[in-house]
């Protein structure tokens, strides 16, 4: 989302705001673009046989009638996908991102298959489908799919920050991830526009509860003030601290009704919850977890690259294809020569052009980020 473009701006006031907001920001930024979906209180597990129905959200699909189908329950899906240490990889998907003609999902899955370090991780990936179409496409391409749909809300299209649907989605997502933690699963949340090239797990901090990738990494993995995190990629361990943290977040919805997340953020930013519960936060180095905002400078080290700092689905797909091609070219070089050649990424032309066009039209940068 637009907030991922923070690193592009050099305005001191903005950077100041960023610093202030950073800590809370990380909880709210989970994959804006992807999460066009959300929900209310009713979590529907959609069996495959119902997919032809045009009204999957009709009240006839009661929670009870579906939840007793064991193959579709969240517990079953997570259990099947989890690693020996109860870790799962989660991503969310809606119709717009699953569209076979121009698919972020195809690129995402292709990236996993582009290296034998990551292809095995596909077994641990659970795709959380936010609408009927995304669920059907997931079932065709992947084994671990879960339907998390929203009664009365259509999230199949690209959703935008600040809309009522967006708010519902945001809160529901926090609540959903909290429930995953409560079920005892650690999760690595990844947006589907993050390309996976190497196994990220060896690069996580063993002592952190909550670690998150950055649009801009300052060089200090513990510094809340100077890092600009991006919720499109985060690894959260299930424990009392992380669960408390997510609960606190979710509860702030009641404290600040009708506020969008930026406002909630500004209201809770001085809360001492993080210190009180002793949540251990870490920011991840862009050398390993890069993106269009701040590309990893070393293809010999990179684990993931995120299509952040990019406006528009088509531009994203266009530039991600080039990124995958860069990677495949790199993998085609004999291993002994890879480090000598100092290969770099092709600059993301369409993404940056679109971004700059977008920003030029804006009178107020802050408005743009919403």
Ligand X SMILES: *[C@@H]1O[C@H](CO)[C@@H](O)[C@H](O)[C@H]1NC(C)=O
Stretch touching ligand X by CB under 6 A, among 71-79, 147-155, 176-184, 217-225: 217-225
Among 220, 278, 300, 325, binds ligand X (CB under 6 A): 220
| Least distance between ligand X and beta carbon 117 (Å) | 6
Show the CA angle centred on residue 252, arms to residues 237 and 258, nearest 5°. Answer: 130
As a whole number of angstroms, the distance between CA 271 and CA 251 comes to 13
355 exposed, middle or buried (CB, 10 Å; 0-12, 13-18, 19+)? Answer: buried
CB nearer to ligand X: pick between 117 and 267: 117
Q: 88 has which bridge partners?
A: 187
CB nearer to ligand X: pick between 314 and 366: 314
Stretch touching ligand X by CB under 6 A, among 72-80, 170-178, 238-246, 313-321: 313-321
Among 167, 315, 316, 323, binds ligand X (CB under 6 A): 315
Quick one: which H or E segment has residue 358?
helix 349-360
Stretch touching ligand X by CB under 6 A, among 185-193, 207-215, 289-297, 341-349: 341-349
CB nearer to ligand X: pick between 64 and 340: 340
| Least distance between ligand X and beta carbon 241 (Å) | 18
- Counting contacts by CB under 6 A, is residue 342 touching ligand X? yes
Interface with ligand X (CB under 6 A), residue total 13
Contact 187, 179 (CB under 8 A): no
| Least distance between ligand X and beta carbon 239 (Å) | 22
CB nearer to ligand X: pick between 41 and 116: 116
CB nearer to ligand X: pick between 118 and 252: 118
Among 278, 341, 344, 346, binds ligand X (CB under 6 A): 341
Among 340, 360, 363, 364, binds ligand X (CB under 6 A): 340
CB nearer to ligand X: pick between 145 and 324: 324
304 exposed, middle or buried (CB, 10 Å; 0-12, 13-18, 19+)? Answer: buried
Q: Which of residues 222-241 bind ligand X (CB under 6 A)?
A: 222-223
Contact 214, 139 (CB under 8 A): no
- Counting contacts by CB under 6 A, is residue 318 touching ligand X? yes
| Per-residue binding letters, 99-138, with ligand X (x by CB under 6 A) | ----------------xx----------------------
Q: Where are the beta strands (DSSP E) in 225-327?
A: 228-236, 281-283, 289-291, 304-306
- Counting contacts by CB under 6 A, is residue 278 touching ligand X? no
> Which 3 state secondary structure label does DSSP give 167?
helix
Quick one: which H or E segment has residue 366?
helix 365-368
DSSP 187: E
Contact 309, 291 (CB under 8 A): yes
| CA distances to 12, 224, 260, 276 from 266, in Å | 18, 15, 10, 19
Q: Which residues bind ligand X (CB under 6 A)?
A: 115-116, 220, 222-223, 314-315, 318, 340-342, 349-350
């Amino acid at each position: 989302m637009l907030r991922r473009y923070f690193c592009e701006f050099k305005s001191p006031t903005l950077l100041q705001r960023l610093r202030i907001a950073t800590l809370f920001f990380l909880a709210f930024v989970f994959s804006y673009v992807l999460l066009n979906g959300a929900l209310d209180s009713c979590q529907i597990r959609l069996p495959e046989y119902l997919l032809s129905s045009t009204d999957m959200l009709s009240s006839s699909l009661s929670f009870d009638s579906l939840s007793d189908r064991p193959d579709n329950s969240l517990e079953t899906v997570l259990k099947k996908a989890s690693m020996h240490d109860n870790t799962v990889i989660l991503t969310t998907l809606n119709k717009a991102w699953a569209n076979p003609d121009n698919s972020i999902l195809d690129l995402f899955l292709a990236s996993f298959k582009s290296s034998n370090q990551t292809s095995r991780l596909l077994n641990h990936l659970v795709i959380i489908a936010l609408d009927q179409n995304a669920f059907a496409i997931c079932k065709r391409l992947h084994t671990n799919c879960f339907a998390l749909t929203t009664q009365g809300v259509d999230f199949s299209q690209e959703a935008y920050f600040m809309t009522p649907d967006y708010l519902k989605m945001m809160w529901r997502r926090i609540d959903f991830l909290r429930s995953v933690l409560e079920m005892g699963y650690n999760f690595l949340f990844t947006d589907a526009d993050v390309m996976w090239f190497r196994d990220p797990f060896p690069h996580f901090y063993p002592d952190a509860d909550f670690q998150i990738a950055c649009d801009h990494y300052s060089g200090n993995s513990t510094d809340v003030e100077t890092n600009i995190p991006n919720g499109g990629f985060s690894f959260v361990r299930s424990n009392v601290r992380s669960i408390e943290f997510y609960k606190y977040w979710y509860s702030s919805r009641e404290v600040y009704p009708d506020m969008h997340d930026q406002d909630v953020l500004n209201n809770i930013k001085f809360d001492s919850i993080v210190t009180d519960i002793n949540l251990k936060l870490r920011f991840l180095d862009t050398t390993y977890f890069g993106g269009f905002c701040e590309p990893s400078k070393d293809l010999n080290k990179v684990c993931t690259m995120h299509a952040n700092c990019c406006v528009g689905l088509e531009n994203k797909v266009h530039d991600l294809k080039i990124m995958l091609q860069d990677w495949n070219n790199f993998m085609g070089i004999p291993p002994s020569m890879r480090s000598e050649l100092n290969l770099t990424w092709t600059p993301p032309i369409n993404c940056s052009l679109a971004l700059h066009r977008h920003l030029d039209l804006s009178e107020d940068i802050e408005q743009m980020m919403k």
